[in-house]
Amino acid sequence: MTTKDKPSAEWIDGLRRRYPVEREVDRVLVRKLHNRAGPAYDPQSLDTLKAGANALIAARHAGEFSIEDARWLTGGASKLQMAFTLCWRPAGGDKQRTAMVLRMEPAASVCETSRLREYQLLQIFEDVVPAPKPYWVDENGDYLPYPALIYGFVHGVTKPSRTTSNVSGLGTNLGPELRNRLAPHFIGQLARIHNHDIRDPRLSGFETPPKPETAALWALNWWQRVWEEDANQDVPLMRLASTWMRANLPASDRLSIIHGDYRTGNFLFDEDSAAITAWLDWELGHIGDRHEDIAWSMSPAFGHFDENGGEFLSCGLLPEAEFIARYEAASGLAIDRRTLHFYRVLSAYKAIVIVLGAGYRNARNGKSHQDVLLVWLMGLASTLFDELATLLDEVL
Amino acid sequence: MEIRADITLQAVLKSFSDVIIPAIDPGNQLAQEQAQLMWRLLTLLRDRLPMQYEYDRDELVRLLTLGRDLQDTDEAPALTGHLADCEALHRRAGAAPDELVAAIARLRAAISDRVEQLAGRDDDRSGPALRAVLRAARQQHLRERSWLLAQGWEVAPETVPAIDTLISFHNMDKASPGAVE
């Protein structure tokens, strides 16, 4: 068993000193390492999850209720999801049947994140952009086998019914008509997220970067630390990228709430009205620099060329230049090309860390409910490396 | 010994497609998706397994070439030591596959340390060396993209050369000291 598979306290402390991050991010990363040498993911039955959800709701909700029609959901690469119907009477409301989703971590996740932070972001943004309504959080796994969150079920699809894509919505082709109708919602909602007040008192699980360069530094520290914790083998290009980023941290002119995984495949939409019905996967959200979300959305992994093979469409929606121009117009926030370049390097780096670093380590240790998907996703790194080399070539 | 990977994978794949996948509950999305991924990963493994050793030897040769480009006995003694070990291993007939993989890991780590050292300073030597790293990365990652072409990640798959044109034993000649890509 390697150091990474059975990490010592000294090794963990060394990484924490080298790569300081927000307290809540640090907490979940340390928890991941403490659990690493422990058991592999223990397959959970629907009955177990139903019982756990029952216990969580009973602890948080005074009144009778019952859980019906529990079933598995698929779609994400990192969490287990169970859909169910809750028959209950909300405080001050009438008896009703509410469709809900239980979102629970496996033994270790390809994105090791805080359910508390995800819950807080959903609380804030359900009134700002389409997002599921959060109900209850089990942040430490007191009621369920692992930490979990319950939120409202939202109808919609992540891709048109008559199209194909790779896993997790990657490479989705929405088609010319749909992309034109969805693009304004995609841009406008990102602008609303980035313009939301970061001093919102409900963000108790978040910290604000104290200096202009700290947003970039924390983001780099987070992902370099995960790479060091999880990667199987060194990759010279990754070391080159992290060294370059550390020497070229941009100063943020303004801080925003960052979604962290804003892309096609992470929103639900109604095929008839072309309205986005929910933004999902807020787990990577944090307070940072808006360029981070823009850069992530522009990753080649999430887009494709148009039907004529001429222009590359970011997230399968808009050519890059138009994406930036329309975002600037919608948000009133300028995009700085040098800062954007830094975050494009970081985005490629982060995506590689997730699919090749965390994906490898979790699958190797049997920590998730879908190790086979994690192994499949490791293949995405080959194209991400190409993107990373191209971006570094422009600045070296 | 007749129970080899090729016939085993062939039989497993057939069982999967003929019996297991059709029997999975259509309402269980998680099981449906994982069964499809298993079938596709096993197919990829069946297709690539015969070339895996050649692929690793090719990567070691490429790392030796890059390592020599970055070598400096005074500044990077660890890299120099790993280069010597790995060149010896590469020359040795019959090096076991796991030895080869371990050698690649050691050389990757030593080269990464050297890259960090070079990228952290600003002088005449670092620029060309770092560009050599980028060139080597592009070559290596083109091989990986070709290796995994069947997964469907490429936005323009027709531009990626076939894997058998990217790894070949003629590259092994370049493993001798002094050879430059």
For the stretch A310-347, pLDDT in tens is 899 999 999 999 999 999 999 999 999 999 999 999 99
Q: How confident is the model at residue B179 (pLDDT cuts 50, 70, 90)?
A: very low
pLDDT of residue A1: 58
Mean pLDDT of A334-361: 97
Determine which of A226-230, A352-356, A379-383, B48-52 has the lowest per-residue pLDDT on average. B48-52
Determine, for residues B41 and A382 on separate chains, whether the beta-carbon distance falls below 8 Å. no
- The answer to whether A304 touches A312, Cβ cutoff 8 Å, is yes
Interatomic CA distance for residues B30 and A73, integer angstroms: 7
Which residue does chain B place closest to A170, by CA atoms? B153
Is residue B175 scored above 50 in pLDDT? no
Determine, for residues B66 and A385 on separate chains, whether the beta-carbon distance falls below 8 Å. no
Question: How far away is chain B from the Cα of A34, in angstroms, using its nearest Cα?
Answer: 25
Cβ neighbourhood burial of A361 (10 Å; 0-12, 13-18, 19+): buried
Determine, for residues A72 and B154 on separate chains, whether the beta-carbon distance falls below 8 Å. no
Highest mean pLDDT among A3-7, A167-171, A237-241: A237-241
- The answer to whether A159 touches A165, Cβ cutoff 8 Å, is yes
Determine, for residues B30 and A74 on separate chains, whether the beta-carbon distance falls below 8 Å. yes
- What's this model's pTM, rounded to 2 decimal places? 0.91
- The answer to whether A55 touches A48, Cβ cutoff 8 Å, is no
Please give the mean pLDDT across all residues of chain A.
94
Which residue does chain A place closest to B63, by CA atoms? A236
Determine, for residues A382 and B147 on separate chains, whether the beta-carbon distance falls below 8 Å. yes
Determine, for residues B30 and A369 on separate chains, whether the beta-carbon distance falls below 8 Å. yes
Angle, helices B126-147/A381-393, rounded to nearest 10 degrees:
150
Question: How far away is chain B from the Cα of A392, in angstroms, using its nearest Cα?
Answer: 8
**Which residues in chain B are contacts of A73 at CB distance < 8 A?**
29-30
Give chain A's end-to-end CA distance (angstroms, integer).
38
- Sign for the CA dihedral angle at B37, B40, B43, B48 comes to negative
Interatomic CA distance for residues B137 and A237, integer angstroms: 6
Is residue B176 scored above 70 in pLDDT? no
**Which residues in chain B are contacts of A240 at CB distance < 8 A?**
115-116, 119, 130, 133-134, 137
Point out which residues pair with A82 in neighbouring strands: A72, A102
For A74, which of B33, B115, B120 is closest by C-beta distance?
B33
- Chain B, 70 to 99: residues with Cβ < 8 Å from chain A are none
Q: How confident is the model at residue B146 (pLDDT cuts 50, 70, 90)?
A: very high
Mean pLDDT of B154-159: 88
Is residue B2 scored above 70 in pLDDT? no
Can you say how many angstroms the Cα of residue A30 is from the centroid of all Cα atoms in its chain?
A: 19
Q: How confident is the model at residue B70 (pLDDT cuts 50, 70, 90)?
A: very high
Comparing CA positions, the residue from A287, A266, A361 lying closest to residue A25 is A287
Is residue A19 scored above 80 in pLDDT? yes
Determine, for residues A234 and B109 on separate chains, whether the beta-carbon distance falls below 8 Å. yes
Mean pLDDT of B78-98: 88
pLDDT of residue B6: 79
Q: How confident is the model at residue A169 (pLDDT cuts 50, 70, 90)?
A: low
Mean pLDDT of B121-138: 89
**Which residues in chain A are contacts of B33 at CB distance < 8 A?**
74, 167, 370, 373
Domain ranges in chain B?
Answer: 5-50, 52-179
**Which residues in chain A are contacts of B134 at CB distance < 8 A?**
237, 240, 389, 392-393, 396
Which ranges of chain B does DSSP label H, i.e. alpha helix? Answer: 5-15, 21-23, 29-48, 52-70, 77-91, 97-119, 126-147
From residue A165, alpha-carbon distances to A23, A125, A174, A205, A316 in Å are 37, 28, 10, 35, 12
Please give the mean pLDDT across all residues of chain B.
85
Determine, for residues A167 and B37 on separate chains, whether the beta-carbon distance falls below 8 Å. yes
Mean pLDDT of A230-257: 97
Mean pLDDT of A132-153: 96
Half-sphere exposure of B49 (CA within 13 A, CB side): 13
Q: What is the pLDDT of residues A197-240, one digit of tens each?
A: 999 999 999 999 999 999 999 999 999 999 999 999 999 999 99
- The answer to whether A106 touches A79, Cβ cutoff 8 Å, is yes
Mean pLDDT of A43-49: 91
Comparing CA positions, the residue from A192, A249, A239 lying closest to residue A215 is A249
Is residue B172 scored above 70 in pLDDT? no
Concatenating the DSSP letter of every residue in A257-292 gives EE-S--STTSEEE-TTT--EEEE---TT-EEE-HHH
Query: Is residue B157 less than 8 Å (CB to CB) from chain A?
Result: no
pLDDT of residue B173: 46
pLDDT of residue B1: 55
Question: How far away is chain A from the Cα of B28, in angstroms, using its nearest Cα?
Answer: 7
Structure tokens at B56: 């690793």
For testing contact with chain A, the best of B21, B24, B32, B37 (most A CBs within 10 A) = B37
Mean pLDDT of B11-27: 87
Report which of residues B28 and A68 the model is more confident about: A68
